[in-house]
Chain A
Amino acid sequence: MEKCNCRNSQLSAILARYTGQEGALFNVLQDAQELYGYLPEEVLVSISNHLGRPFSEVYSVVSFYAHFRTQPRGHNLIRVCTGTVCHIMGALQILARISQELGISMGGTTRDGAFTLGSLPCFGACSHAPVIMVNDDLYGRVTPGRVPEILAKYSCREALTTSS
């Protein structure tokens, strides 16, 4: 609860920083997502109240851009590149293998909250296709066979961070 109050005061600071600026909504949303990890409905409501803009308008901006999330994300974010080169080099097979290993489909989060599976059309690392990104680590020339080994690195890390 304490943590929550602290975040709320940080949100007020973000709102105060952009108030009166042209195009403030977009910047507020970006910073608020950075703060909360996603954009919960109550945060959107307070942004809407504070900026004096209808909730529908705030939500219409949130739902338009792929970067804005209204659901919490897992501890590790896996993003499969779905750009053209990765596609012709077998991105779908990689995606299928990850889905199978984790038991989730695109956009889903594992029950233990360890992984969220997403995609991105091109990281610009086409020379290393097919590419996947786990958090900020980029893996190139991935094969379905390498998937369990890559995922294992993060399952361990997850276990370590929770135990410490």
Chain B
Amino acid sequence: MQIYRGHVLVCAGTGCVASGSRNVQAEMEKQLEAFNLDKEIKLVETGCHGFCEMGPIVIVYPEGIFYCRVQPEDVKEIVEEHLLKGRPVKRLLFKNQITEEMVPHYKDIDFYKKQNRIVLGNCGFINPENIKEYIARDGYEALAKALTQMTPEQVIEEIKAAGLRGRGGGGFPTGLKWEFARKAPGDKKYVICNADEGDPCAFMDRSILEGDPHALIEGMAIAAYAIGSDEGYIYVRAEYPLAIKRLKIAIAQAHELGLLGEDIFGSGFNFKLNIKEGAGAFVCGEETALIASIEGRRGEPRVRPPFPANKGLWGKPSNVNNVETFANVPRIIARGSQWFADMGTEKSKGTKVFALTGKVKNTGLAEVTMGITLREIIYDIGGGIIDDKKYKAVQIGGPSGGCIPEELLDLPIDYDSLISAGAMMGSGGLVVMDEDTCMVELARFFLNFTQMESCGKCTPCREGTKIMLDILERITKGEGKEGDIELLQSLAETIKSTSLCGLGQTAPNPVLSTLRYFRDEYEAHIKDKRCPAGACTALASYRILEDKCIGCTSCARVCPAKAISGEVKKPHKIDPAKCIKCGACIETCKFNAIVKQ
């Protein structure tokens, strides 16, 4: 085997690819060869490091030097200075935003310091397209242990004792779900992975699929052994082409080594895994809808019971778990339930991966121990609000969740505390908002989403979300009426209690939680026809400040509606009748002479 003195890890997750990591990788390959280092330094394409904001990310081992926002033109310098002469390139290191100090090592960066990367432990560290790298990190050891040293019942007991709960949002105890499927009578059973990550702005499952696909495969194989199944399906969002590609490679490699297929580890246990691509329907994240979709039908949910554990895919007992849930399984089996149960809060064990995005300085994926506060995530890991603006709220759990205002920032996060605050864990999306975000408009945005994604099977969700959306649209246009808030509340309660599935039952949450914490914003829109955040276009107007405008004409030139007029070197004016409120003028003005009110 070839021994290398160093490794260069280039991130090939979707975030870094979006900022150009493919070109960086190609240039690295070229430069390593040009400097005759290709036999000494190994170039590794990895999955996501989570710190997407700073992409493309390049890490050099054994030192663990972290380079960020690397461009192809920087590569030669890294190779020549660092890899050849041993002098890290300072200008490409991460700079601490507060102290402005350079932070050369991965582990010392604030973004990573408070994280507890277990599920994401391999992401960004191994080459996801090479099964041997996963095995070198103790991969498939848990499957071997389960198959050769444990009975299926013992596996279930271990997962129950660990206290693992479903990471897809509901938080149902995983071990219990497995037990139901195990006890269900039937000769054929299925294990299904819900990788239809539909919540906007949650991308942790994709990161696992792209960065550590074998963890999912191993977790599913252990689950199959536990419930007595020999076949599994991974239902992946079609918008994740890279994840699908890597899963296919991973499954093929696992087959080749006999880690999938017949008589695995000589135990007599067989397991076959299929991939099913979704076709863009949010409701397919609901387990009965997902099963209908695998069966090739419209992805409409059905009444439960019977639960999938008894009557699932093709009418057979089936167990559906989310990607992150399965990825936790091998770690629990390998290290023991006690190790897992020691982390977290009383009722929520282990870690949770959050997708931290929005108006926060450091965005990306953060895996933290349950019980951490939102303040720690937003300020310590996230580095605070962009431009040091005022924090307004964080939306947690996507369209099914709710917002958390400043006064609750010190709430320790777990499944139950979030429910009591009117939000929910959901899949773990955390969208941070500052003073410029209008909460009524945000509620309208989510209702627009759920209303479009409603499958239409049950009346409360189909009609109710539409009526709620109509009301919210009126309010954001300044056409709100007295009594609208009460009507919204009453509709919300009805939809929550009478909808068929989770989509409808949680759809009103964004409205209820914004009403709970930001009722004054609704009132300002309805009574004063005013948007306090200045975000609602219909209620906003643009104005040029005469004392600041020097008449440079750049706004008039950029205005697509020709709404700005004026003489050169004299203050300009906006014609409100022509203005389409696109904001292009504000963006182009160098003198801060245009204001949005």
Residues on A lying within 8 angstroms of B by beta carbon are 22-27, 30, 60-61, 64-68, 82-85, 87-90, 92-93, 96-97, 100-101, 120-129, 131, 138, 140, 143-145
Contacts and interface: CB of A to CB of B under 8 A. Distances in A.
A92 B558 CA distance: 18
Contact of B18 (A82, A90, A120, A138): A138
A128 B398 CA distance: 18
A67 B355 contact: no
Contacts of B358: 84-85, 88-89, 126
Nearest to B452: A121
Contacts, number: 135
Given A84-B200, A120-B239, A143-B587, A66 B280 contact: yes
B588 interface: yes
A25 B18 contact: no
Contacts of A96: 580, 582
A25 B296 contact: yes
Interface string B151-181: 0000000000000000000000000000000
Given A22-B314, A65-B299, A88-B442, A30 B583 contact: no
A13 to B, nearest CB: 19
A26 B279 contact: yes
B355 A126 contact: yes
B71 to A, nearest CB: 14
B281 A84 contact: no
A100 B299 CA distance: 35
Contact of B398 (A66, A84, A93): A84
A22 B296 contact: yes
Given A65-B299, A121-B449, A128 B18 contact: yes
Interface string B190-223: 0000000111110100100000000000000000
A79 to B, nearest CB: 10
Contact of B279 (A65, A87, A127, A138): A65
Given A61-B298, A68-B279, A123-B14, A84 B584 contact: no
A65 B278 CA distance: 9
B445 A64 contact: no
A101 B582 CA distance: 13
User: Which of A30, A60, A120, A124: most chain B CB closer than 10 A?
Assistant: A124
B55 interface: yes
25 contacts: A22-B295, A26-B279, A60-B298, A65-B280, A68-B279, A84-B429, A85-B431, A87-B445, A88-B431, A88-B433, A90-B583, A92-B537, A97-B560, A97-B584, A100-B582, A120-B239, A120-B280, A121-B282, A122-B200, A124-B240, A125-B15, A125-B52, A127-B53, A128-B52, A144-B584
B364 interface: yes
Interface in B380-416: 395, 398
A84 B282 CA distance: 14
Given A88-B358, A125-B18, A127-B52, A64 B583 contact: no
Contacts of B355: 126
B294 interface: yes
Given A24-B296, A100-B560, A127 B455 contact: no
Nearest to B54: A127
Given A23-B295, A27-B296, A67 B238 contact: yes
Interface residues of B, number: 58
B201 A67 contact: no
Nearest to B282: A121
Nearest to B243: A124
Nearest first, the 10 closest Cβ-Cβ pairs linking A and B are: A23-B296, A66-B280, A124-B203, A83-B200, A65-B279, A127-B52, A26-B296, A122-B200, A126-B357, A67-B279
A64 to B, nearest CB: 4
A120 B281 CA distance: 11
Contacts of B584: 97, 144-145
Contacts of A143: 587
B201 A84 contact: yes
User: Which of A25, A64, A87: most chain B CB closer than 10 A?
Assistant: A64
Nearest to A22: B314
B304 interface: no
Contacts of B200: 82-85, 121-122
Interface string B308-347: 0000001000000000000000000000000000000000
B295 A145 contact: no
User: Which of A23, A60, A90: most chain B CB closer than 10 A?
Assistant: A23
A89 to B, nearest CB: 8
Given A66-B279, A67-B279, A88 B359 contact: yes
B451 interface: no
Nearest to A120: B239
B376 interface: no
A141 to B, nearest CB: 9
Nearest to A94: B582
B293 interface: yes
Given A22-B314, A84-B201, A127 B583 contact: no
Given A122-B200, A126-B357, 19 more contacts: A64-B298, A65-B280, A66-B279, A84-B201, A84-B442, A84-B446, A85-B200, A87-B445, A88-B433, A88-B442, A97-B584, A101-B560, A121-B449, A122-B199, A124-B15, A126-B355, A127-B363, A128-B19, A145-B587
